[in-house]
Structures are given as structure tokens and as C-alpha cells.
Amino acid sequence: MGDIRKTHETVSQAHKLSLKTKNLVNLRTEFSYKAYCKFLLSNSTQAYKDFEISLYYVRNGQADIKHLYSLLGNQQSEFFIRIKVWKQFESVNGWNIQTCTEKKWNLDLAVCYLFQGWYDICRGRLPRAGKALTQAEHILRPSGMIERICRLDWVWALLAEAKGEYEKGLRHVNDALLVCADKGFRLRLADHFIVRGRLYLLQFNRENRENRDLVEKAGDDGDEALKIAEDTEYIWAKVDALELLCTYHETRAQLSGFKSSEEREKARSYTLEASTIKEGLFLTEKQMEELKIQARKEFEEQTAGWD
């Protein structure tokens, strides 16, 4: 529902109790959930470390486990896509696909395919993305798992955007927006507003530059997404919304009837804000190696003396 702070507080309370009672099973999940919340709230450093600690708890007594899997693997895979750590995404998601297939955990498997499609779009492998999303489609669409279906429609829309198929993308987005609004899925709502705004601008530039309403609709969607992102503190939607609004004002600057200098200044302002935020979201190889060391040390300190 978008209350990320409350989620993090609740998980943190459970985490403290699990440490006190030495509940290894719960700690696996709680560290991953903490990491996921930190990731959504912009703290990539703490998120990376907590995912690593979660893996240490998973491996406790199961030395053959290579990566997080099931829901925890899905959470980490999304994190790696967002921070563009491609090799680690491939390792985690590949392991998760294998594990979920063997265990017949079909819903988590579908999310693996969903993320595989998103990853392939990011890498420009559009035919492969379509195949992965079709695999997710076969499982998710009949499942009734509404939130996951909305996420699937979002990635389908990203694929349509990458292929220039704005009409197809808008169909996916508009269907999902109705559901997200009805169910109160605020994070998904923000994501869909952003991609719809980009699709409106794509339609304007590709087909109908006389229809300025498309440009204004894109700006409205950017504003709506930014409001949701700031209210929920969903940092990734905030960055995407700022970048959409930058493109919106750049587009207006090229049209008659607008003061191009003012529009370009607004675009620069949104670009600067987005760039400043993004500087703190991505991690270097050196940072990740240091965080792995810190995670191991914290795990050993937490479990010292445990049976």
C-alpha cells in the first residue's frame, strides 16, 4: 500500500525479537525485508549489506545454497536491476529460476521471469524479453495475484515503449492503473503513471505532434507520480518522475506558445534534482566488496555463541 516506513519499523521490531530469541528462520526473511525497504527508501548501501546478511542466515546449515531464492531472491533481483548490477542479477535470478522450478514454486518463478524480461529490456534484448514475459504471463494471469499482475503489465508496457508500440503499452498501463487505484497499490500506481507519461510523449513525437493534449497528459502523469513518490518516499519512482518531468518541459520548450527559456530552466532543475539523488543510489565494485566483508562480520557477531 506504499507505507514503506511503517513496513520497515514493523520488520525491525520483529527482527529485534528474533535476534533475542535466536530465531534463525525468521531472521532470514527479516533481513531481506529490511534490505528491501532500505532499497525502496534510497539506502542502497544498507540494503546491499542486509541482503548479504540474509544470505548468511539462509546458508546456516545449508552450505550448498548459492544465493537467496523464492521471495527473498525476487526482492534482491529487483534491487540489482535498479542499481544496474547485471552480473549479480544474472546469478541470483538464474539460481532462483532453477530453485523455483525444482520446488514447483510457480508464483515466485513467474516473478523471476517478470524480472528476467525487465532485465532483458534494460539490456536491449527485446525478443528475449518478450519470451520471458510470456512465461510469466502463463502463470500470473490466471493466478488472481492482482499486485503481481499489475507489475507484469508494467513490464509489458516497458517492452512496448522500447519497441515504439505506444498503443499496446497504453492498453497495459490503463488496465493496470484502474486496478492499482482501486486496490490502493500506491507504489505500482506511481510506476504506471510514469510509464504512461513516457508513452504519451512517445505517441506525440512519433505520430501526432499537433495533439498537444498528449504532452499535457504526460506532465499530469509526471506530477501525480511525483506526489505519490514523495508521499511514500519511494525513491526510484521519484527519480523516474523527475526525469519524465524534465522531458515534458524539454518538449514544451520546442513548441510555439511557450517561453522556451523558462521551460528549459524547469527541465534543468528537474534533471539536476534527479542526478543528485541518483549519485547516492548506485554502488561501486569496491563498495560492494567492502559491504560483503562487513556483512560477514556482523553475522558472526550476531550469532557468536549460538548452538
CA dist., res. 189 & res. 181, Å (int)? 7
CA dist., res. 137 & res. 117, Å (int)? 11
Q: Can you tell me which residue has the cell 528476467?
A: 116
CA dist., res. 172 & res. 158, Å (int)? 10
Instruction: Supply the pLDDT for residue 305.
Output: 83
Instruction: Return the C-alpha cell found at 77.
Output: 533481483
Output the average pLDDT for the chain. 95
The backbone torsions φ and ψ at residue 104, rounded to the nearest 5 degrees and listed phi first, read 60, 40
**Identity of residue 244:** L
**Identity of residue 236:** W
Region 217-233: mean pLDDT is: 98
Kindly indicate the confidence band of residue 111, based on its pLDDT and cuts at 50, 70 and 90.
very high
Instruction: Supply the pLDDT for residue 63.
Output: 79
Instruction: Supply the pLDDT for residue 292.
Output: 96
Can you give the residue ranges of every domain in the chain?
A: 169-282
pTM of structure? 0.95
Residues 139-178 have pLDDT tens digits of 999 999 999 999 999 999 999 999 999 999 999 999 999 9
Instruction: Let me know the angle formed at the C-alpha of 35 by 105 and 59, rounded to the nearest 5 degrees.
Output: 55
